[in-house]
């Protein structure tokens, strides 16, 4: 074990929709304007909020999820990503105490805050309230005596006078600031949530506007002092096995259609000797020279016409699969590997056809929540009996459900306990709707690397 000193802070919420992301983005920008190097984090499985953190911090934002990763992996990931930073800022998920259980803290922002010894600034929608802010503060401060709620961020204030009133009403409890409603700077959304900040719809001036508002409406010095009040963090010695040299090369599909990846998963592949090569299934005409392919989630339905029209890339991937190349796909990646994508306007766009069935979009959520996976047979991830954890969040179904190929996953819902067969395998192709986090079982990353190394030995 070792001790790590780093100022840190979690921006949590009374609930979803109270402005956690804008406070986090604005605070990171304001701190950077003061010369701070900021490590950014997102509690929970969200892929989109970290893209905003990364844009403004200019370094990758890491997901830290207590249910999928466990305590030691969360602390280790936090410590590793905080190296070289002056301060760490994490954005919470949903409400502070919301998580994988209705009656316990498992999977919640509160659990992570306690693991990290991080003080919490609680964001709330303060429109239409005054003295009630004291009751909110009292409830959240006293609900869990082992958690330190150290300040409030009172968003959607009507004026500076309103913010002053809230400070007076709080009875001396720190109100570090708040933000007025600025619809002209609001981040646009679509069916999975915010647009990814890497897309052209999110401009640098838009991000900078929130940083300037935080500079104007927050007590930055007070916020920094709260972060500096965090005690030393006890960190397990890093037991990750890092391989020198490149054992294999893995193509990472990365563009506007595919960009949902956990940074921790990618780092695990690199530590095991994988050279990661990004390519665009939407725009590139051919594959890079690789020994495996990894298709993450994203928005293939929004680029369905372009993906379908890029026949050169489709043929290159089909040829790679026909030659025994390992291909692993999650959610949006599964949609691309299917026979086609049917969009909400009922148009059908042919895709790779490596997995039977078409991904049919719906205007309603089709699956949401944590799942546990157990492999029923050997695959490119390793032998039968592997268990790992993940998350689903999708608006499509594979129709008809493939019945003539092997399902190598048993997926069990964290909430309902219901089990289902999934994990579609055809030769060395494996695709699923599950977004897996390999911190739940590091052997999964080892298995994928071993499959890619074996392919490299056969073909080089």
240 inside domain: no
Residues 279 and 175 occupy one common structural domain: no
Number of domains in the chain: 2
- Are the CB atoms for 263 and 39 separated by under 8 Å? no
- Give the CATH number for residue 212: 3.40.50.300
Counting Cβ atoms within 10 Å, is residue 454 exposed (0-12), middle (13-18) or buried (19+)?
middle
Residues 268 and 341 occupy one common structural domain: yes
Sheet holding 149-155, edge to edge: 62-64, 38-43, 87-91, 8-13, 120-125, 149-155, 175-177
131 inside domain: yes
* Mean pLDDT lowest among 98-102, 198-202, 331-335: 198-202
Domain range for 342 is 248-459
- Are the CB atoms for 179 and 213 separated by under 8 Å? yes
Q: What is the predicted pLDDT for the residue at 199?
A: 55
Residues 310 and 444 occupy one common structural domain: yes
Confidence at 194, pLDDT banded by 50, 70, 90: very low
Instruction: List CB contacts of 431: < 8 A, sequence separation 6 or more.
Output: 295, 327, 328, 329, 330, 333, 334, 337, 338, 354, 355, 423, 424
Last residue of a domain, one of 180, 209, 235: 235
* Mean pLDDT lowest among 22-26, 203-207, 271-275, 368-372: 203-207
Residues 105 and 200 occupy one common structural domain: yes
Provide the mean pLDDT of the chain.
93
Q: What is the mean pLDDT of residues 426-440?
A: 97
**Residue environment code for 181-211, b if the CB has 16+ CB neighbours within 10 A, otherwise e:** eeeebebeeeebebbbbbeeebeeebbbbbb
Instruction: List CB contacts of 187: < 8 A, sequence separation 6 or more.
Output: 21, 22, 52, 194, 195, 197, 202, 206
pLDDT digits (tens, 9 = 90+) for 232-256: 999 987 656 677 789 999 999 999 9
- DSSP state for residue 82 in the 8-state scheme: H
Residues 217 and 279 occupy one common structural domain: no
Instruction: List CB contacts of 186: < 8 A, sequence separation 6 or more.
Output: none
Q: What is the predicted pLDDT for the residue at 196?
A: 58
203 inside domain: yes
Q: Which sequence positions are flagged as catalytic?
A: 331
> What distance in Å separates the CA atoms of residue 306 and residue 103, rounded to the nearest whole number?
46
241 inside domain: no
pLDDT of 222 strictly over 80:
yes
pLDDT digits (tens, 9 = 90+) for 352-393: 999 999 999 999 999 999 999 999 999 999 999 999 999 999
**Terminal-residue alpha carbon distance, the chain:** 42
242 inside domain: no
- DSSP state for residue 280 in the 8-state scheme: -
Residues 150 and 270 occupy one common structural domain: no
Q: What is the mean pLDDT of residues 340-347?
A: 97
Q: What is the predicted pLDDT for the residue at 2?
A: 86
Residues 229 and 267 occupy one common structural domain: no
Q: What is the predicted pLDDT for the residue at 347?
A: 97
The structure tokens listed for 240 are 């990750």
- Give the CATH number for residue 266: 3.40.50.880
Q: What is the predicted pLDDT for the residue at 198?
A: 53
135 inside domain: yes
Last residue of a domain, one of 178, 207, 235: 235
pLDDT of 184 strictly over 70:
no
Residues 27 and 166 occupy one common structural domain: yes
Confidence at 37, pLDDT banded by 50, 70, 90: very high
Q: What is the full DSSP assignment across 18-77?
A: SSHHHHHHHHHHHHHHTT--EEEEEESS-SSHHHHHHHHHSSPPEEE-HHHH-HHHHHHH
> What distance in Å separates the CA atoms of residue 430 and residue 408, rounded to the nearest whole number?
9
Residues 395 and 360 occupy one common structural domain: yes
Last residue of a domain, one of 214, 235, 256: 235
pLDDT of 190 strictly over 50:
no
Q: What is the pTM of this model?
A: 0.92
243 inside domain: no
> What distance in Å separates the CA atoms of residue 220 and residue 33, rounded to the nearest whole number?
11
Residues 203 and 280 occupy one common structural domain: no
pLDDT digits (tens, 9 = 90+) for 42-97: 999 999 899 999 999 999 999 999 999 999 999 999 999 999 999 999 999 999 99
436 inside domain: yes
Instruction: List CB contacts of 310: < 8 A, sequence separation 6 or more.
Output: 281, 282, 283, 284, 285
> What distance in Å separates the CA atoms of residue 414 and residue 411, rounded to the nearest whole number?
9
Q: DSSP 3-state assignment of 167?
A: helix
Residues 173 and 131 occupy one common structural domain: yes
Residues 269 and 398 occupy one common structural domain: yes
Picking from 330, 385, 377, 338, the residue whose alpha carbon sits closest to that of residue 361 is: 338
């Amino acid at each position: 074990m070792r001790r790590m000193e780093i100022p840190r802070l979690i921006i949590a919420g009374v609930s979803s929709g109270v402005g956690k992301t804008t406070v986090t983005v604005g605070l990171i920008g304001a701190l950077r304007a003061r010369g701070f190097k900021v490590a950014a984090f997102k509690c929970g499985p969200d892929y989109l909020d970290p893209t905003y953190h990364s844009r403004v911090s200019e370094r990758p934002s890491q997901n830290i999820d207590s249910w999928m990763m466990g305590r030691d992996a969360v602390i280790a990931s936090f410590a590793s990503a905080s190296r070289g930073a002056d301060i760490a800022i994490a954005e919470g998920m949903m409400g502070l105490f919301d998580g994988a259980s209705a009656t316990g803290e498992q999977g919640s922002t509160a659990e992570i805050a306690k693991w990290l010894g991080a003080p919490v600034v609680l964001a709330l929608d303060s429109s239409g309230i005054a003295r009630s802010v004291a009751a909110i503060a009292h409830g959240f401060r006293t609900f869990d005596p082992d958690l330190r709620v150290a300040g409030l961020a009172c968003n959607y204030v009507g004026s500076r006078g309103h913010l002053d009133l809230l400070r007076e009403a709080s009875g001396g409890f720190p109100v570090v600031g708040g933000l007025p409603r600025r619809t002209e700077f609001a981040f646009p959304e679509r069916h999975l949530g915010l647009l990814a900040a890497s897309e052209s719809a999110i401009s640098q001036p838009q991000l900078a506007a929130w940083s300037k508002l935080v500079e104007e409406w927050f007590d930055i010095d007070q916020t920094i002092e709260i972060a500096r009040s965090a005690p030393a963090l006890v960190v397990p010695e890093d037991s990750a096995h890092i391989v020198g040299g490149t054992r294999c090369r893995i193509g990472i599909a990365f563009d506007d259609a595919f960009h949902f990846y956990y940074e921790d998963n990618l780092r695990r592949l690199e530590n095991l000797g994988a050279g990661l090569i990004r390519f665009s299934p939407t725009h590139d005409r051919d594959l890079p020279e690789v020994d495996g392919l990894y298709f993450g989630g994203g928005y293939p339905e929004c680029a369905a016409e372009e993906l379908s029209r890029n026949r050169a890339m489709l043929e290159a991937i089909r040829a790679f699969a026909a030659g025994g190349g390992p291909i692993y796909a999650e959610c949006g990646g599964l949609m691309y590997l299917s026979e086609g994508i049917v969009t909400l306007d009922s148009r059908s766009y042919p895709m790779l056809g490596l997995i039977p069935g078409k991904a049919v979009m719906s205007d309603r959520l089709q699956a949401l929540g944590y799942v546990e996976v157990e492999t029923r047979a050997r695959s490119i991830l390793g032998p039968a009996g592997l268990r790992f954890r993940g998350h689903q969040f999708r608006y499509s179904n594979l129709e008809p459900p493939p019945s003539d190929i092997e399902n190598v996953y048993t997926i069990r819902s964290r909430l309902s306990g219901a089990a289902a067969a999934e994990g579609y395998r055809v030769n060395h192709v494996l695709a699923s709707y599950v977004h897996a986090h390999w911190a739940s079982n590091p052997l999964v990353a080892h298995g994928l690397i071993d499959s890619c190394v074996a392919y490299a030995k056969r073909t080089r």
